[in-house]
Amino acid sequence: MGKEIFMQDFELAFDNAQIFNYPWRKPEQFDPSSGADRAVMADLMRRGARTLDKGHELAEDLFEMTHPSQAEDETMRQEFMFDMLSDWKREGNYFYFPWLNRIDHFPDVDTLRKVYRFRDKLLLTDEEAAQGYKARPFVAGQSVGRAIAKNLVLSGLGGAIMVADSDRVSFTNLNRLYLPMSAVGQAKVDITAKEISERDPYLEQIHFNQGIRHQDRAALLAAKPSIIFDAVDHMPTKAMLRDVAIELKVPLIMATDLGDKTMVDVERYDLGGVEPFLGKLSAKQFELLLAVAEDKDVELSKEDAASINPKKLTPKLVGVRNASPRMLETVSQIGKTLGGHAQLGTTVERGGASAVKVAREIVLGRRVLSGRYIDDPKETFNFAASDSLKDSAKKVIAFVKSSRQ
């Protein structure tokens, strides 16, 4: 981006007092050895931009990383820090984040990631950590998908991260998205993108702000994701994601929260021998869903439309036995007492972490088979049932009745 255009964008944002709702944009990078870059930074600061420099804290950590056996030697520590900080202003890179109106000083990319990954040592080898940054994950959806994206960055899994969602943060999202109230109304993709950039501005990001639609298929193929995460509710979109995974021959991981349970489906299209949706849906249903993904107004026979009705299709895909009676009750109440699927924040977070753990094993070339995996804390911790058998039976019966309507 040209510096003149960049400054025009800066002025427009602040003239209209839009700083809190400023959409994500790739942070502007400045080289401290460039006189032109230093002049632009000085101009930004004259206009009110703040600065953030954690050089002192970085020096502390680097000393302990490189001198673990001398960590208590205060003289050596002070000498190390003096040597590093004397040149620090001219090292690394500065990044301007317009949504913060702030210029942050970062070390070079290798140093930054070495510090981030230091406490992974021995749990992950240097080779495994480097392999993680070669991945190119694509995350569709930003509920469970937000937990996935967060854990990808936290784990160093992805040198490029792709995110898709068309929705904006609402108040009712805050039971499962750990965000401040000021995030309400902002695009979910922008929120995630900003957080990723503020942590590691060197990461490449590719966004699909209108969700992932049929017209985005070519762009997704061109982006060449190496692994796809399905965290969306829309069945035609789910089918399209699998069609893309099949064409690219890459694995797909679907994370689904079912009340207290987490369900992770692994579909290894990179290895072959796996049917879409693990064979839970018929080949015809898959083709019909793809047709709807391509054209939402496509004309279907009454029989075909009924066969892919989400009310009947979703239980078939998920498996009624995998859902708790309370979860089934929430499904039966959608459109009556509920406006959408009920979700618990703890389950969303656990699902995101589980999906990324599976992805790491795949990226590192370890044995991960296609299949469905259920994580049920009630079984792990031997919790008592939430309801009596009588109440549970009532909830299941109500679900069965609603699914037949």
Query: Tell me: the pLDDT tens digits for 98-112?
Result: 999 999 999 999 999
Query: What percentage of residues in the chain have a pLDDT greater than 70?
Result: 92
Q: Is residue 286 part of a domain?
A: yes
Q: Which of 79, 107, 135 is the endpoint of a domain?
A: 107
Total domains, the chain: 2
For the stretch 14-73, pLDDT in tens is 544 445 578 899 999 999 999 999 999 999 999 999 999 999 999 999 999 999 999 899
Long-range Cβ contacts of 381-385 (<8 Å, 24+ apart)? none
Q: Which of 107, 140, 165 is the endpoint of a domain?
A: 107
The verdict on 169 and 133 lying in the same domain is: yes
The verdict on 93 and 198 lying in the same domain is: no
Q: How high is the pLDDT of residue 383?
A: 86
Q: Is residue 242 part of a domain?
A: yes
The verdict on 150 and 277 lying in the same domain is: yes
More confident residue, 329 or 294: 294
SS3 74: helix
The verdict on 223 and 269 lying in the same domain is: yes
Helix H or strand E encompassing 193: helix 188-199
Quickly state the pLDDT bin for 8 (edges 50, 70, 90): low
Structural domain boundaries enclosing 53: 3-107
Burial class (CB in 10 A: 0-12, 13-18, 19+), 142: buried
240-253 average pLDDT score = 97
Q: Is 333 left (phi over 0), alpha (psi -120 to 50) or beta?
A: alpha
Beta-sheet strands, E only, within 22-165: 28-30, 50-53, 93-97, 102-106, 137-140, 160-164
The verdict on 249 and 351 lying in the same domain is: yes
The verdict on 146 and 61 lying in the same domain is: no
The verdict on 222 and 358 lying in the same domain is: yes
Beta-sheet strands, E only, within 261-397: 261-268, 371-375
What's the DSSP call for residue 179?
Answer: -
Q: How high is the pLDDT of residue 17?
A: 41
The verdict on 101 and 154 lying in the same domain is: no
Q: Is residue 154 part of a domain?
A: yes
The answer to which of 7-16, 88-97, 137-146, 228-237 has the lowest mean pLDDT is 7-16
Instruction: Supply 170's token pair.
Output: 């609402």
Q: What is the CATH number of the domain that holds 258?
A: 3.40.50.720
Q: How high is the pLDDT of residue 403?
A: 64
**Cross-strand bridge partners of residue 285:** none
For the stretch 306-317, pLDDT in tens is 999 887 888 888
For the stretch 138-165, pLDDT in tens is 999 999 999 999 999 999 999 999 999 9
Instruction: Supply 180's token pair.
Output: 């401040």
